Structure 1
């Protein structure tokens, strides 16, 4: 099973194609069945206003996306002002008039005209102050109430009931006759332990309610991630044992009530954990003889087939629900971000269909599996029917609100069994669930979407997926590159380590737990001699062709990856980085090397400029001389090397000074750089404290300085560079800190906000330049968000950074610890939340501090201390202005579902990096160039296209090519231009 996890797609599909390929007779029978199912589906699409409404506003229209976005956010907005802004944002730009009168349903057309009128009211209210006041009395509340009713109606479509009692009653209605349900207590993963407790209680109550009538045949679906907030590989020990106990309790209860229980499938990194839990519960003597235990398998996974084989070997009957898969896009993105070798799933929809069919064939033949086939695809259903023959010993499944018409005749006339996967919960809570399901089934490649496309013929709809995959040789989708090729031909992406793979994580833990060397004693550096050596080496290095200098950087990148384990060990032991942060450190250093090599080849070559005939003008970018690079301890490899290799590839020699706390990793990096071909005198390591840095800066032979650190030190360097009247003007590239703010309005999804706040404020013990320092919450959502944040913080582990379970390690040294703890103590009366931390070592407990007003915070506190203040609805612009007034300008975050809010913040904020609806840390080289303005830096941005030019002297040579005679170019022209 493990071998298939990230195996190449052609290799995995070759085995699957054998069983998914139909012979001509079977294929003919499948097409006959599928044709009838298509007719049923089309009839259902035209039956009822709900289906017609969804057909009219599909996800390939801006109006469909607008409605979905409105549904995702509207019901959770508590204040009318923001609700109106959200309505204006989503309704205002879409062309609702284009849909007017097009539907066969009067109700759909009425709804469309309501949207047309709503848009008109919104648009006019924005244009006219008088009209805006008028609508404030009548129009906006009317529109708001109408939208609220519409959103709740959409909730009815996709949610079976707000309570389990309501859901079971609805299942008894005539439209569900013949169908059974698998009730899913609606919600995503638990963020806090109270969340998990609430979900567990909801599952218990659902089992009791459904168990009152076991003859109805309904069942319960359980998400393991809803039962534990830290259901992740690094927390295997505590989460798997706890989840096994909880699933055992639920399964025993279901068995006693005589109903079935199925464990849902989740992201690929949780698969092995899930199998451990399911396997342990399946083996319980208390469940012997109960045939209601089940699990879901996702066919888009390369490991789907062996998971089914595993289930068949559990020694008991298992209900297996086969689904296509629900996390496809997020799995792709996470794999790319992590720089892993390949994807854990198939990149083509047809490949998933092939996998589904091969798995279905296995399930039909298995002795210990009761199959359940969840699909809305007529071809898939027809194939299973053809294979099953006269058997009825299996069931189909579909999502509530989707696939209506596909199974009705099969159930009511032909005796097949179909179960409806039925979400249960408050309509406010459908949020992410609704979005994911609609996007999944509304994607261009999905059968549901294609069925609604009148341009597709039946033959195209029912094309054989096995034939499609065989035709392309099982290859990956051409628009989805492997992670290593993410940045195209220019450069390779840095490779990562799959820290969600338990054996790999175990190896990493062993590697980082010990230093790969014995630290030596520091030797007092001779600054003057070092500068003299670098100055003497400059002419030869500057004369080295750009391509050769770039090649040195690429060789250095390869060496960094080859010695990644040793570098991670030093980062953990010396810089006190957690394992994920240490890995990220090495990858960023690699990315800097390859990115600057590519940019040098592209941007540092001579450029011939236009001019009058008989003249040649050439712009050259050349090294300036000796550069000093002064690096911080918080990124002792990535920033240290990033600054240094940028100066080197631009043709300069470099004196590189690491932070006094982290000389070892810098020494290792310089050794690798010299091994990569950079001459010893072109790159000279000069460790030491502030006095060494001051001596380097003061040396008049230093032609430029790149510094990352505190604003105070950057100002001190800038002043010293101007003190010597005889010294040339020396360029200073400075990246400093900031009072980085995240603004959150009432449309934001609280669960996502909390996750991003914890990451931004507390990862790396808050010791990142970009870390979140002040959270600005709209008043109406402040208390609820802080309650959820407090719960999420309860699950944090503060401890040894070499332990994979650790979320927050120590701060860098005693000086930083004392400064932070003293300040924290002065703010004790304002603590909202703090967590336990070890008393031995430099561990600063992550702490949330409530401010009365943003004006109370005027300096950066470089550690895991998060300040919180509130702002009033309608004062977004004023809030941004108050942040700008602090004078810092490094990073800012915004969480909002209002696109115009994002546009406003983008236009008004004075920061180098703005992050919308995501965390504020982890800038990627070449994708998110990093650096601030104001008190936060000088620019240009590191990892960006303009960075290298700052390290160069731009020189132009203008030559009169006619000086030796006439203008040869003009004199050689022929008469063809006549």
Structure 2
């Protein structure tokens, strides 16, 4: 398979409806399964970003006045093109990010679902009438698009993290400039092709690739950018909050997590094992809401560990394009080294490796880590407080509900948490006690377009998805009329 067949035809920026940046210096896009260069893309900076912002600002004047039904039709058309070209888009994703092809196909469906959902929400941006303060007073509440949106997206879900922002932005009547992760720009470029072919007007959707510092600074300093939406690390999110102050930007942040999974003694163990596998090892553990630490009640501890080990032993590691592969490569060597460091720290402090515990480095740009289970972990081990972002499942024993809730909530993060119990009474109490924005009760894969996604504490600000997901792209205007 050649790169040309699988990658976007135009490895360029997309600004004001034109493919640009062919004269710029480039950086390499690497296939993490073998370390090969699969494309070279523009290393853009402030000038190109300002050009894209200006194009979006100009296009906003007409797009914001476009009928909601027309905006909806265009969003549906882009979604249709994603479904029609699923195989091509999935292969691009696997080539540049590494996830197994089956997961990439699933992500195409998931990504398209945000466009489909917000195509409907575009027609449901409602205002309201409020009783006036006197007989001669009328009050109207009007919803209007916030303006130009800057979107900074991560590498681990290169399609879905774009459409989760693109869908509500366009549905609300906003225009957008997207900066994809340096590791995965080709998926973003293919999505721009679909937008172009679906009839998105010039300047409404723009894409710039390149230097994250320069592009981010251009976003944050330009007063024409009224909203910034970011998915990524908590450290970068905090930096963006500081930068946003000078122009008081509307900001949405989906940041890091450290998700607990709690398995109670009345849980369906088979169901819990399958849930743990699906969440922990999807995307090689490189997801913000995947299970990071597992707490199992003492009297089912060994039973769960044994069943979990048996299931994990069946997982196949390899190139995501190969048939039957369950776990692809780490995104880069730094990610691999962090995972291995967490495992070695736990072992040095008394934890036992049940399965895995090692990886394979093909070269500096191609690293694999085998699915790993560690048992008898304790709170002072680094893996129990830092996000691992890899295919390692540490397991700790607990005795009481009160104890495990304290363990689960003892973190600055609050994105997602999971638990398994067949008791409605116990489950209701646990659900209410967990300080997390997303809670999976007997469900380890809760993400869906129609539900609000986001975290508490240092895991972010705002929500994406559901009816809540369009609100950050809207301003509320209050009109008081005197008759």
What is the TM-score with the length of structure 1 in the denominator? 0.44
Cα distance, 1:839 vs. partner? 4.5
Which residue in 1 is equivalent to 2:157?
635
- TM-superposition CA deviations, 1:72-130 (whole Å, max 9, x none): xxxxxxxxxxxxxxxxxxxxxxxxxxxxxxxxxxxxxxxxxxxxxxxxxxxxxxxxxxx
Cα distance, 1:908 vs. partner? 0.8
Larger RCO, structures 1/2 (Cα 8 Å, 6+ apart):
2
Cα distance, 1:522 vs. partner? 2.0
Structure 2 counterparts to residues 759-778 of structure 1, below 5 A: 759-778=278-297
Which residue in 1 is equivalent to 2:21?
none
Over 3 Å counting, the alpha-carbon distance change for 1:689 and 1:847 in structure 2 is farther
| Alpha carbons 1:877, 1:904 under 8 Å: kept | no
Which one of 597, 608, 614 corresponds to residue 129 of structure 2? 608
1:897 aligns with 2:388: no
Which one of 235, 238, 248 corresponds to residue 712 of structure 1? 235
Cα distance, 1:765 vs. partner? 0.3
Cα distance, 1:665 vs. partner? 0.6
Cα distance, 1:768 vs. partner? 1.2
Which residue in 2 is equivalent to 1:400?
none
Separation in 1, partners of 2:370, 2:278? 15
Residue 6 of structure 2 aligns to a residue whose secondary structure is coil
Over 3 Å counting, the alpha-carbon distance change for 1:849 and 1:700 in structure 2 is farther
Residue 897 of structure 1 aligns to a residue whose secondary structure is coil
Cα distance, 1:922 vs. partner? 5.0
Structure 2 counterparts to residues 907-918 of structure 1, below 5 A: 907-918=432-443
Separation in 2, partners of 1:819, 1:680? 42
- In terms of Rg, which structure is larger? 1
Over 3 Å counting, the alpha-carbon distance change for 1:512 and 1:593 in structure 2 is farther
Separation in 2, partners of 1:689, 1:862? 23
Cα distance, 1:608 vs. partner? 3.0
Q: Which has the higher strand share?
A: 2
Residue 862 of structure 1 aligns to a residue whose secondary structure is coil
| Alpha carbons 1:799, 1:838 under 8 Å: kept | no
| Alpha carbons 2:440, 2:446 under 8 Å: kept | no
| Alpha carbons 1:609, 1:617 under 8 Å: kept | yes
Separation in 1, partners of 2:4, 2:445? 26
Which one of 173, 177, 192 corresponds to residue 670 of structure 1? 192
Which residue in 1 is equivalent to 2:17?
none
Gaps spanning 5+ residues in structure 1: where? 1-509, 962-978
Which residue in 2 is equivalent to 1:861?
388
Over 3 Å counting, the alpha-carbon distance change for 1:697 and 1:751 in structure 2 is same
- TM-superposition CA deviations, 1:133-174 (whole Å, max 9, x none): xxxxxxxxxxxxxxxxxxxxxxxxxxxxxxxxxxxxxxxxxx
Which residue in 2 is equivalent to 1:424?
none
Which one of 69, 72, 77 corresponds to residue 555 of structure 1? 77
Cα distance, 1:621 vs. partner? 1.2
Residue 98 of structure 2 aligns to a residue whose secondary structure is coil
1:569 aligns with 2:84: no
Residue 591 of structure 1 aligns to a residue whose secondary structure is helix
Structure 2 counterparts to residues 20-419 of structure 1, below 5 A: none
1:703 aligns with 2:226: yes
Residue 842 of structure 1 aligns to a residue whose secondary structure is strand
Separation in 2, partners of 1:922, 1:911? 13
Over 3 Å counting, the alpha-carbon distance change for 1:860 and 1:793 in structure 2 is same
| Alpha carbons 2:275, 2:445 under 8 Å: kept | no
| Alpha carbons 1:626, 1:703 under 8 Å: kept | yes
Structure 2 counterparts to residues 773-792 of structure 1, below 5 A: 773-792=292-311
Separation in 2, partners of 1:516, 1:820? 30
Cα distance, 1:837 vs. partner? 5.5
Which one of 44, 51, 63 corresponds to residue 529 of structure 1? 51
Over 3 Å counting, the alpha-carbon distance change for 1:738 and 1:514 in structure 2 is same
Which residue in 2 is equivalent to 1:418?
none
Over 3 Å counting, the alpha-carbon distance change for 1:633 and 1:536 in structure 2 is same
- TM-superposition CA deviations, 1:491-531 (whole Å, max 9, x none): xxxxxxxxxxxxxxxxxxx9999625565532232222222
Q: Which has the higher helix share?
A: 1
Counting matched residue pairs gives: 442
- TM-superposition CA deviations, 1:375-397 (whole Å, max 9, x none): xxxxxxxxxxxxxxxxxxxxxxx
Separation in 1, partners of 2:111, 2:302? 40
Which residue in 1 is equivalent to 2:143?
621
Cα distance, 1:826 vs. partner? 3.2
Which residue in 1 is equivalent to 2:459?
936
Separation in 2, partners of 1:921, 1:687? 31
Residue 368 of structure 2 aligns to a residue whose secondary structure is coil
Which residue in 2 is equivalent to 1:583?
105
CA RMSD in angstroms comes to: 2.2
1:844 aligns with 2:363: no
Separation in 1, partners of 2:170, 2:428? 39
Which one of 466, 478, 483 corresponds to residue 956 of structure 1? 478
| Alpha carbons 2:8, 2:189 under 8 Å: kept | no
Cα distance, 1:906 vs. partner? 1.4
Cα distance, 1:613 vs. partner? 4.2
What is the TM-score with the length of structure 2 in the denominator? 0.86
Over 3 Å counting, the alpha-carbon distance change for 1:665 and 1:911 in structure 2 is same
Over 3 Å counting, the alpha-carbon distance change for 1:822 and 1:513 in structure 2 is farther
Separation in 2, partners of 1:921, 1:695? 36
| Alpha carbons 2:377, 2:394 under 8 Å: kept | no
Which residue in 2 is equivalent to 1:177?
none
Separation in 2, partners of 1:547, 1:633? 32
Cα distance, 1:741 vs. partner? 0.5
Cα distance, 1:855 vs. partner? 4.7
Cα distance, 1:630 vs. partner? 0.6
Gaps spanning 5+ residues in structure 2: where? 12-38
Over 3 Å counting, the alpha-carbon distance change for 1:746 and 1:714 in structure 2 is same
Separation in 1, partners of 2:205, 2:371? 39
- TM-superposition CA deviations, 1:887-912 (whole Å, max 9, x none): 21111111112211101111111111
